[in-house]
Amino acid sequence: MNKIFFLLAVVLLIAAIYMFFKSRQAKAASTQETGDTFSKDYFAEAKGQNEFNPENLGPGAIIRYGATDYVVRGTLTLNEGPYYWYEYLLDGGDNSSWLGVEVDEGQLNLTWWTSRKGAGATPDRGTVEFEGVTYSEDERGHARYTSTGTTGLPESGEMRYVDYSAGDKLLGFEGWANNDSWEVSTGHTMLPGEFTVYPAPKA
């Protein structure tokens, strides 16, 4: 009888240990899918480029490009699985502009975009012609985002995108609503030395 109780106790102990570790794994997976992606410091991989990290480029930061000062009014932090990037909405100049910032395998990539409201264009597979230029599709997908500052979007949500290029010219489509509407932007790549960044005020 004692032997039976002993074996039963061992079985229950093993079951308890198994359930404990399964619970830890599930919690870790859930955390990774929800919030931790947005808190990882990817700029630690981009040596010497901390001026473009989200702390410096938060709402209230100033970006001097050419002879114009642009004020960051809002930040979108986006991720698609492990891939991660930022969009900074800017006030200044003659048009609605935003700065795209991403770190890919330790390489800092900067893109300057101008919104083309009322363009009426829609994405297509392969190529798209816009204002006499034929653009080739680079990538498309869906991403999650969080919003800070003034962006005109909810604090969090999902979006879809399609990106095209033609030489040094860029064409982007972004969809933020649960319908078939698209926001169109044209852009080009930039180098860090083309900007002067005045960090956002500390809270």
Q: How far is CA 175 from CA 28, 42, 124, 163, 194, in A?
A: 30, 25, 14, 12, 29
Of 162, 168, 164, which Cα lies nearest the Cα of 127?
164
Which pair of structure tokens corresponds to residue 47? 């040596």
Q: Are residues 88 and 151 in the same domain?
A: yes
The pLDDT mean for the chain works out to: 82
Q: Are residues 160 and 118 in the same domain?
A: yes
- In this structure, is residue 167 part of a structural domain? yes
The whole-angstrom separation of Cα 154 and Cα 41 is: 23
- In this structure, is residue 93 part of a structural domain? yes
Q: What share of the chain is helix, strand, coil (3-state, %, to 5)?
A: 25, 45, 30
Q: Are residues 64 and 9 in the same domain?
A: no
Tens place of pLDDT for every residue, the chain, 203 residues? 555 655 555 555 565 555 544 444 443 443 344 444 444 556 666 655 678 888 889 999 999 998 999 999 999 999 998 888 999 999 986 778 999 999 888 889 999 999 998 888 999 999 999 999 999 999 999 999 999 999 999 999 999 999 999 999 999 999 997 777 899 999 999 999 999 999 988 76
Whole-number CA gyration radius for the chain: 23
Amino acid, res. 127: T
Q: Which range marks the domain in which residue 144 is found?
A: 43-198
Q: Are residues 31 and 49 in the same domain?
A: no
Q: Are residues 87 and 125 in the same domain?
A: yes
Q: Are residues 66 and 9 in the same domain?
A: no
Q: Are residues 149 and 161 in the same domain?
A: yes
Amino acid, res. 146: T
Q: What is the pTM of this model?
A: 0.76
- In this structure, is residue 203 part of a structural domain? no
Q: Are residues 79 and 173 in the same domain?
A: yes
Identify whether the C-beta of residue 128 lies closer than 8 Å to the C-beta of residue 112: no
Mapping DSSP onto H, E and C, the string for 139-179 reads: EEEEEEEEEEECCCCCCEEEEEEEEEEECCEEEEEEECCCC
- In this structure, is residue 59 part of a structural domain? yes
Which pair of structure tokens corresponds to residue 88? 């900074």
Number of domains the chain is built from: 2
**Cβ neighbourhood burial of 135 (10 Å; 0-12, 13-18, 19+):** buried
Strand, coil or helix: 172: strand
Q: Are residues 104 and 160 in the same domain?
A: yes
